[in-house]
Amino acid sequence: PHALASGLVLTVDDPRHGPMRQLGNLAWLLDDAGAMDKRPGPVADEFRADLPALLAENPRVAPEGKGEGGWLDGLKVVDLTNVIAGPTIGATLARFGAKVTSVQPVNPSVDPWNAIVFGLHAHRGKDSVLLDLGSPAGRAALERLIAGADVVTMNGTDEQRDALGLSPDRLAALNPRAILVQLDAWGGPMRGPKSDHLGYDDLAQAATGVMVRFGGGPDTPEEHAHFGTIDALTGYAACVALGAALERRRLTGKGGVARAALAGCGAMIQAQFMYDFDGRAPFDEPAGRQARGWGPFYHCYRAADGWMFFAAPTERAAALARVPELADLAGQDEDGLAEALADRFATHPIAHWQTRLGGGSASVVPLGSLSVNRDANLHLESNGPADIRHATYRAIRHDRHPMGRWVDLVAPNAVRPDRAAITIPGHAPKPGAQTRAILSQIGLTEADITAMIDEGAAATGWSDKYLPE
């Protein structure tokens, strides 16, 4: 009931299948009535009549620019988030030049693993201030920060948002151009019975079917990874929502609320199965940790020197027919073909099969590991700035980290524009490291700041050391 009521699942009138349930939005604006207005996928040639007008349009010209700055240079962000999904928003925005100020409580609200270890990655590139938002002085400081900000980020329900004093009306009163980026577990474009229920990654995995799919069935559910399967994706989806909100503000001057939710992103990572209609055949997809592929032509096999993935989903038997060692299997029924291919692939190393199966759309790829890829693409921070312009993956060993130990973190390679700068974010600061500087920037005197710290409305740290013992 909640999925339908909230708009996390929508019903569209499909011309081929009739009423059809599909996944809803991954990102939306709170007051956008069009978020629930969906049309079905097109039928063949549906838009042919529109082609002449489209072809007659003048070519779009990219705006000129030297590309020396970041897309978000000058954007001021107040980050009220914690753990993974929420902090991912600010850390992502910092890559593109945003100035992000992380506001956290004077005493940690979660354990060190969630507050510090995850923060090594998720709070990179930010400044840190510790405030007690329940105190008058702490609340006043937050409102000053919001008054000078473009964006405020938070992870929490509507109920929590309003209790924090960030309802849409209150936000507009503080700063009519400010955009609140809000993510939670169960939110959707509409309100539903679970809209104000709390939740985190594992609960979203359980509710959206990830655990059943990964575990193999309802009797053997299993968590997919220990954390972050849906979290980070939801943070990125929230950035997409912010992009729409920034464009609306550019056109109208209006701020507002941009949204994303774990449940929506949990559905998206299973998009291939997120539809239903009367008469739909069972998906009957491979499931469980022992599943090695989807049929014999899209499957993991062990070669003579290690595991590889064989992909020939379109060529199928034709790919086998080109290879002398496999040609006699091309006419075999698919039942039992995976076992036969496993025997053949085991007779030669991976490089042999890569050569044999080259030249068409089929492919063989060795199964790698994150640690091997990391070590092969590792850059030492002490050797100077990492060059991420031409690499799809790099890891940086931060061997000058303020915690006093080295840590390997992924470099921001995911988006590398030709005509804009990407900032490799600095270390996640020790919580509260910039408290005095930030409070000074919003107009407080040294006496005011000291008084706030003395009364517990602000703090300059959670512990003496970066890593609490």
Smallest CA-to-CA distance from 244 within 43, 403, 467, 35 is with: 35
Residue 286, classed as helix, strand or coil, is coil
Q: Which two tokens stand for residue 231?
A: 């979290």
Would residue 231 show up in a list of annotated catalytic residues for this protein? Answer: yes
- Of 231, 284, 375, 464, the active-site residue reads 231
To the nearest 10°, report the CA torsion of 246, 250, 251, 257. 30
| Distance separating alpha carbons of residues 174 and 446, to the nearest angstrom | 25
**Angle formed at CA 231 by CA 88 and CA 407, multiple of 5 degrees:** 55
> In a 3-state reduction of DSSP, which class is residue 112?
helix
Question: Strands, DSSP E only, in 24-158?
Answer: 28-29, 76-79, 99-104, 126-131, 151-155
Bridge partners, 181 (sequence order) = 153, 258
Own/partner pairs, 196-200, CB within 8 angstroms, 24+ separation = 196/157, 196/158, 196/159, 196/160, 197/157, 198/157, 199/262, 199/263, 200/83, 200/231, 200/262
Structure-derived torsion over alpha carbons of residues 234, 238, 239, 243, reported in degrees to the nearest 10:
150
Specify the amino acid at residue 369: S
**CA distance linking residue 327 with residue 340, whole number of Å:** 12
Q: Which residues contact 101 (CB under 8 A, 6 or more apart)?
A: 76, 77, 78, 79, 126, 127, 128, 129, 145, 434, 438
- C-alpha 267/C-alpha 7 separation (Å) is 12
- Could you give the strand order of the β-sheet that contains 179-184, starting from the edge strand earlier in sequence? 28-29, 256-261, 179-184, 151-155, 76-79, 99-104, 126-131, 458-459
Q: Which residues are catalytic?
A: 231
